[in-house]
Amino acid sequence: MAGSIDVPPVMVIDASVMLCFLLPDERNEEIQSIIRQHVDGTLALIAPPIFPYEVINGLALAARRGRINAETFHSLAGQFITLAIGIRDPVLSDVGALAVTLGITAYDASYVALARELKIPLLTLDDRLKKLP
C-alpha cells in the first residue's frame, strides 16, 4: 500500500492581500505569515488570470504616487514573480452571474467565483468581498 501524500491547503488570494505583502507602508504580520506559508509549501495560493495584472498595476500606481521609487517598483515586481502564485481560470459564466447578482466588478467576481467553484477560502482585504455570503 502506497503512503499518502500530504497536499497543502489551498486558498484564493486577491491583489489587495498581495499588495499589502509587497508594499513597505502596508505590511502586516498576518499577511507576512500567510505568504511565508506559501513559500514554505504549507499553503498553496491561487488566483484568477487578472491577478498578476492587478498586482503590477497596484505597484505602478504606488510608484506614480511617490509611495515607492522606480528601483523599489522593479524589486517588488521581481519578488512578486518569484512567489509563483498559481493561476486558474474561473468559469466565465459564473463570473458574470456573480458580478450582476452581487453588484461587484467582474474583476472582483473572478476571485469570488474561483473560491466558490473550488470551495476554498478567499483571502482579501476588501471589506465588501469579505461580507459576501
Buried b (16+ CB within 10 A) or exposed e, 67-90: ebeeebbeebbeebeeeebeeeeb
Grid coordinates given for 90: 474561473
Place domain 10-126 in its CATH homologous superfamily. Answer: 5'-nuclease (3.40.50.1010)
Position 2 pLDDT exceeds 70: no
User: 6-60 pLDDT, tens per residue?
Assistant: 667 999 999 999 999 999 999 899 999 999 999 999 999 999 999 999 999 999 9
Q: Locate the domains of the chain by residue range.
A: 10-126
CA 77 to chain centre: 14
In angstroms, how far apart are the furthest CA atoms of the chain?
59
| Average pLDDT of the chain, as a whole number | 94
State how far the Cα of 14 lies from the Cα of 120, in Å rounded to an integer: 13
User: 69-95 pLDDT, tens per residue?
Assistant: 999 999 999 999 999 999 999 999 999
Position 108 pLDDT exceeds 50: yes
